[in-house]
């Protein structure tokens, strides 16, 4: 049995989980998220209603894989609608900066033309200063994907350390050529 899948998920009193027609819907103070439940996976509530339990119907390989996955997705949905998720990005390099105009993020990353990104509706970007961005959302997957897309425009260089980093990311710089 999946060790991750067996763990019960604690419910915040402000969060409501609804299972209907093979779809799990989680509603909380920050919004609503829903996820389709794969075949062979069932979701139930503890007797006191303070915990959510995810179980599987058989030992088939695909069902075993979906068991832990569904538990993690449901846990992330519950955390998302109660607290939310955030990722901070840093721009390191001379002239590297970002500007937000409406839902369009313009990034100057040392290329001849600025890189432009349309921000999805479910992700909020705050420009703390031209070299620091804060991405927030209730959907962990969405905020992570937008952060990875921004970072992919200029991944940190192994020799100089220039590029887009996650806040607090440690880089090990390589030594250059020796003369």
Which H, E and C letters describe 124-174, residue by residue? EEEEEECCEEEEEECCHHHHHHHHHHHHHCCCCCCCCCCEEEECCCCCCCC
Q: What is the pLDDT of residues 117-152, one digit of tens each?
A: 999 999 999 999 999 999 999 999 999 999 999 999
The dotted CATH code for 85-166 is 3.90.930.12
What homologous superfamily does CATH list for 3-82?
Ribosomal protein L6 (3.90.930.12)
* One fold for 3-82 and 85-166: yes
Rounded to 5°, the CA angle 61-63-67 comes to 120
Predicted TM-score (pTM) above 0.85: yes
Q: What pLDDT score was predicted for residue 2?
A: 56
Q: Where are the domains of the chain?
A: 3-82, 85-166
Gyration radius from the chain CA atoms: 21
Q: What is the pLDDT of residues 104-120, one digit of tens each?
A: 999 999 999 999 999 99
């Amino acid at each position: 049995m999946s060790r991750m899948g067996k763990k019960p998920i604690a419910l915040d009193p402000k969060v409501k989980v609804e299972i209907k027609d093979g779809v799990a819907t989680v509603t909380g103070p920050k919004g609503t998220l829903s996820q389709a439940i794969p075949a062979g996976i069932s979701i139930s509530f503890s007797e006191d209603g303070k915990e959510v339990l995810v179980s599987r119907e058989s030992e088939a390989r695909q069902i075993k894989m979906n068991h832990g996955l569904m538990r993690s997705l449901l846990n992330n949905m519950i955390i998302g609608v109660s607290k939310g998720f955030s990722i901070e990005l840093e721009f390191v390099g001379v002239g590297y900066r970002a500007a937000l105009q409406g839902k369009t993020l313009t990034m100057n990353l040392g290329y001849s033309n600025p890189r432009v990104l349309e921000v999805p509706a479910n992700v909020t970007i705050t420009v703390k200063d031209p070299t620091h961005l804060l991405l927030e959302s209730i959907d962990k997957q969405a905020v992570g994907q937008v952060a990875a897309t921004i970072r992919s425009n200029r991944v940190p260089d192994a020799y100089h350390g220039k590029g887009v980093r996650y806040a607090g990311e440690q880089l090990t710089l390589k030594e250059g050529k020796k003369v």
